[in-house]
Structure 1
């Protein structure tokens, strides 16, 4: 993982936990698994980048997101937009705010990754079948290697989660066990 970075996708209150408006289903150890992987990354000098979905209070920037009965979520100034307290970014981490599913779409993520000398991204977070997969697709299209540790992601349903992991592993990158990443 010499040229890797971890991208923690949308681990926000509107997606994870009891108060989530779009609850992502996962193993109960999702947060602990992410904490363990992030500690490993920071100890080994691997950059950590967070994404934070955020929308304006007047909803003008949701685009097509609300077309399929998706509830209003991640509105600026609400608790739902905040990154989970247990996974708060540290001062050495980076935070990319985004208004669409992919962390690459109209953000400076690609510039940051190139500046850090990264060619491999490790995606964790929520939702496997929405923002994680959209980011994986764009990453692969921008010639980054993609790795998803299956214990560190959550989907909008178990069925969608598994389908997204299968799709990512088939064409976009590799789905691996967390322990496979934390070797050496």
Structure 2
């Protein structure tokens, strides 16, 4: 459909927490696995945009100097307004078409307007890529399932700090919550117009 494709799909791509603190070697919670998936995530974003699939970036953040019980028990990361809170520059946001939704918990749905944005855009399928499979990916997929969306996780485009943990959570998602597919299958589904 090309760069200026009209949105015609009932699917959306959720790009979860691909922020510099997670993806850059100088980030506060960097894992090499996140750097490795970046080019693949970019390919998926480009393919989805070309097919008219809505792209939504989810951005984890913590406020500077404000109370947050969850954040107080973890390593500092994604502090609002800092370099680490920025979406990795390899993944360009199209401000005219993409959404950027900030979140303070693992799930992209909890305390955000993600569900409303998806419903306003007649979305049924949510394609999920990003980090961390055992926290933010899993929580977002679980809530998508509970809200009657069809989650589709792209296996080569999610990561965490342990390959074993990553695979365990992908297997649980596949068994109980949605589809786990490879990039080739995703691109085939897009080409066939089923996403």
| Fold shared per TM-score above 0.5 | yes
- Cα RMSD (Å): 1.6
Distance 1:22 1:34 in 2: 19
Look up the match of 1:152. Answer: 157
TM-score, normalised with respect to structure 2:
0.87
Distance 2:47 2:18 in 1: 18
Structure 2: gaps of 5 or more residues: 1-7
2:113 aligned residue (95, 99, 108): 108
Specify the SS of the correspondent of 1:95: strand
Distance 2:31 2:98 in 1: 24
Structure 1: gaps of 5 or more residues: none
Distance 2:62 2:82 in 1: 10
CA deviation after TM superposition for structure 1 residue 66, in Å:
4.1
The change in CA–CA distance for 1:141 and 1:176 in structure 2 (over 3 A counts) is same
TM-score, normalised with respect to structure 1:
0.92
CA deviation after TM superposition for structure 1 residue 146, in Å:
0.4
**Residue 167 in structure 1 maps to residue 172 in structure 2:** yes
1:13 aligned residue (20, 33, 46): 20
The change in CA–CA distance for 1:130 and 1:94 in structure 2 (over 3 A counts) is same
Look up the match of 2:4. Answer: none
Specify the SS of the correspondent of 2:152: strand
**Looking at both structures, which has the greater relative contact order when contacts are Cα pairs under 8 Å and sequence separation is at least 6?**
1
1:54 aligned residue (61, 72, 95): 61
